[in-house]
Amino acid sequence: MSELLRLNNISVHFSGLKALTDVSFSASPGEVKALIGPNGAGKTTLFNVISGYVPPTSGEVYFKGQEIQGLTPHQISARGVRRTFQNGGLFGEMTVLENILTGMHVQINSHFLGLLFGTRKADEEEKAAAARAMRLLTLMDMAEFADQQVKSLSGGQQRMVEIVRTISTEPPLLLLDEPAVGLSPPMRTRMMEVIKRLAGEEGISILLIEHAIDLVMAGSDRIVVLCAGQNIAEGKPAEIRENREVLEAYLGYA
């Protein structure tokens, strides 16, 4: 399986504090990879390095074979690395569908004048974008909310809208920061099912931080375990479940 993302010996030091030390791993197209570890393990810092918000003290980040550390978050996003945050910015006064279409504006390539005067090409692209948005909402069991204002939805439903909006841009690499926060158990399960399906059908590489171990074990292809800023294990869910070092450091077993 070809590599889409590679981290080589990433270290991050903050005023003497070692947030990450020599972390290395890769991610491939169509793969769902989870980052787990106790609070303070360095998971969010690692996401910040990949997405350009924190420069590594040492090490390299490669995306599609090219180094991206040192680029701005906007430049990294433009190359195809998209990220959700724990508190995403949705437009409360806009409908669910409008929010998703707003996120898809980079996919609509028609010239501004074409959109303004309603040329056939612009009209076709708008219809295609709306159709894709509705397909994703249907996958998430959210189609019935398409015409509702976002501010009228529950926190969990808004979380689903944010994820759909990010996925709708067809990113090669998607970073999900605790996607299950605020979701009911049925919605959490459905979300993971859709994430795996999108990864498999569309070849999106998905890297996620998640504390819900049941979801991680059920929905991930591989798991990276961080502890005190170091990568202490990587493997398939069944391998991680039996790893004694992980059980001691993360799950608290002796």
The mean per-residue pLDDT over the stretch 224-253 comes to 85
The answer to whether residue 17 is domain-embedded is yes
Alpha carbon distance 206, 96 (integer Å): 23
Alpha carbon distance 43, 19 (integer Å): 9
Nearest to 232 by CA among 218, 216, 244: 244
Alpha carbon distance 103, 82 (integer Å): 11
pLDDT tens figures, 135-188: 888 887 889 999 999 999 988 888 888 888 888 888 899 999 888 877 788 888
52 and 101 assigned to the same domain:
no
**Encoding tokens for residue 220?**
């991930």
pLDDT tens figures, 17-73: 899 999 999 999 999 999 998 888 999 999 999 999 999 999 999 999 999 999 999
**Encoding tokens for residue 91?**
């437009």
The answer to whether residue 99 is domain-embedded is yes
**pTM of the predicted model as reported, rounded to 2 decimal places:** 0.83
Q: Which residue has the tokens 């995403």?
A: 88
Output Rg (C-alpha) for the chain, integer angstroms: 19
CA 130 to chain centre: 22
Cβ–Cβ under 8 Å, residues 101 and 129: yes
For residue 227, give the CATH number of its domain. Answer: 3.40.50.300
Residue 212: which domain range? 1-80+171-254
DSSP code at position 189: H
DSSP code at position 56: -
180 and 243 assigned to the same domain:
yes
177 and 233 assigned to the same domain:
yes
Per-residue pLDDT at 180: 81
